[in-house]
Amino acid sequence: MAVVAERAFTSRSTLPRVEAGDTDVSIGIYAGVLQALGLLDGLIKVADISNDSVGKALASAELPKHIHLKCKTGASRNG
């Protein structure tokens, strides 16, 4: 644990919080620990929206069903 903490530039007391998924620990600390363990490439998968079916469904639900474009009044259509 001391080696991982040193390589992640954090304290040994923070590592159990990371292991527990403590949301008060910054994402930078999580990234540092992943880097120290050789797992930083896995962070890309977490941030990839194509892996988040729930997030995509929620985002789609908020999209409007119809879009109405407003025309400018008094403007010529030919220029």
Judge whether 70 lies within some domain: no
Judge whether 71 lies within some domain: no
Per-residue confidence band for 70, with pLDDT thresholds at 50, 70 and 90 = confident
Judge whether 68 lies within some domain: no
Judge whether 34 lies within some domain: yes
Distance of alpha carbon 48 from alpha carbon 65, whole angstroms: 26
Q: Determine the structural domain holding residue 51 and report its residue range.
A: 2-61
Judge whether 72 lies within some domain: no
Judge whether 16 lies within some domain: yes
Judge whether 24 lies within some domain: yes
Q: What is the pLDDT of residue 41?
A: 87
Judge whether 28 lies within some domain: yes
Distance of alpha carbon 79 from alpha carbon 75, whole angstroms: 8
Number of domains in the chain: 1
Task: Give me the chain's average pLDDT, please.
Answer: 86
Mean pLDDT is lowest, of 5-14, 32-41, 67-76, for 67-76
Per-residue confidence band for 79, with pLDDT thresholds at 50, 70 and 90 = low
Residue 35 has pLDDT above 90, yes or no: yes
Higher pLDDT, 71 or 1: 1
